[in-house]
Amino acid sequence: MTLEAIRYRTGSLQVLNQLLLPHQTVYDDIRSVQDAFEAIKSMKVRGAPAIAIVGCLSLAVELRAGAGGDDPVTFIRESLCHLTSARPTAVNMGRAARELMEFAENESMEKNSEQLRESVIAWIEDMLERDVNDNKKIGNYGAQHILSGVPRDSVTILTHCNTGSLATAGYGTALGVVRSLHGLGRLKRMYCTETRPYNQGSRLTAYEAVAEGIPATLITDSMAALTMREMDITAVVVGADRVVANGDTANKVGTYQLAIAAKHHGIPFYVAAPSTSCDLSLESGRDIIIEVRPPEELTSINGVSIAAPGIEVWNPAFDVTPHQLITGGIITELGVFLPSELQAALTGRLTAL
Ligand SMILES: CSC[C@H]1O[C@H](OP(=O)(O)O)[C@H](O)[C@@H]1O
């Protein structure tokens, strides 16, 4: 059973407070859009798909309570705009906001306020199931593609950050590929980086791996290139916060240098991302806004200072990997594509082989 980052039933939402993991398993109630905004901003909830899902579910909870009165469309628009401002790099929340707003405006032509609220709630609740189904397709497509490229019985994967059930509605993206390989009995080992400064790897990916008996070894970010040289890594598989039209990909900071090391060692580098994490409106990675987070997240851990007081800090939460370094491909729920094929694949002009 994979971990539940999100507990939802109509009218009620709880999220696993990821700031307290791995030592405390605490679910916080999300009773409003503002609660969700604060949970996302503080990274109690994080992960591109999970941010969009929790944001939209918080709107569903308020709509279930009658929010918006006689003008729910205005309430929906203002809520989605607010939620999208919480974290700028991941595209999923902004995409969901755009698609949901279009749906709500169309529905408002034919439905009264109460019917509109119910219709929007149903649209949002469908996101949960869609995300898990997409992730299982990503897992299976990715596992098959990686296995097709190697003669060996089992494979070793290096991954970064957390891209599992704690970053999505369940199963995960890059970690979903690892889960699929493990489920096929073809995973020898996963190496997961600790992923400074928020430690999504040591706190969250390690937590998921231990909980499910996935063979995994934790390494520091600075050990990644050495691990690629010494540990017979079959592939590097990472997640994404925003994949743009030419395949350039924004992901957790540290991803770019993993791609460089993978290139040097001739190891295929994959990005695993649902189409909801893709943004064809941007031509290249130069256009992606990179969130810069508070210095304290780098200079302290659990409130304990680990840096010289007064030192200046640069703390970008993401970096951009050029599409030329994504040598294995981009693993989506539609199949695995080269960066150069992505736009055609996402616009339905290309199907997976
Ligand atoms: C399912 S991919 C999640 C993606 O989001 C993470 O960032 P954060 O933990 O800051 O939300 C990381 O970039 C992952 O690859």
Read off the pLDDT of residues 236-283 as tens digits, 9 standing for 90 and up.
999 999 999 999 999 999 999 999 999 999 999 999 999 999 999 999
Nearest CA among 206, 288, 274, 293 for reference residue 244: 288
Q: Give the nearest ligand 1 atom to 173 CA.
A: 1
How many C-beta neighbours within 10 Å does residue 111 have? 16
Q: Which residue's entry shows tokens 């040598």?
A: 327
CA distance 161 to 349: 32
Strand partners, 279: 244
CA distance 340 to 346: 11
Of the CA atoms within 13 Å of residue 77, those in its CB half-sphere come to: 8
Which of 162, 173, 243, 291 to mutate for ligand 1's pocket (most ligand atoms within 8 Å of CB)? Answer: 162
Does residue 239 have its Cβ closer than 6 Å to ligand 1? yes
pLDDT for 240: 98
Does residue 140 have its Cβ closer than 6 Å to ligand 1? no
Residues of the chain with CATH 3.40.50.10470: 140-346
Does residue 173 have its Cβ closer than 6 Å to ligand 1? yes
Q: Give the nearest ligand 1 atom to 238 CA.
A: 15
Residues of the chain with CATH 1.20.120.420: 6-131
Residue nearest ligand 1's atom 12 by CA: 252
Read off the pLDDT of residues 267-323 as tens digits, 9 standing for 90 and up.
999 999 999 999 999 999 999 999 999 999 999 998 999 999 999 999 999 999 999
pLDDT for 153: 84
Q: Give catalytic residue positions.
A: 241
Ligand 1 geometric centre to CA of 240 (Å): 6
- CATH class held by domain 6-131: mainly alpha
Share of the chain above pLDDT 90, in %: 95
pLDDT for 350: 65
Does residue 167 have its Cβ closer than 6 Å to ligand 1? yes
2-6, 8-12, 238-242, 261-265: least confidently modelled range = 2-6
CA distance 219 to 157: 13
Is 124:100 a contact under the CB 8 Å cutoff? Answer: yes
Ligand 1 geometric centre to CA of 152 (Å): 30
- CATH class held by domain 140-346: alpha beta
Residue 216 CA, chain-centre distance (Å), reads: 20
Ligand 1 geometric centre to CA of 160 (Å): 9
Read off the pLDDT of residues 52-87 as tens digits, 9 standing for 90 and up.
999 999 999 999 999 999 999 999 999 999 999 999
Does residue 241 have its Cβ closer than 6 Å to ligand 1? yes
User: pLDDT grade, residue 2 (50/70/90)?
Assistant: low
CA distance 14 to 49: 16
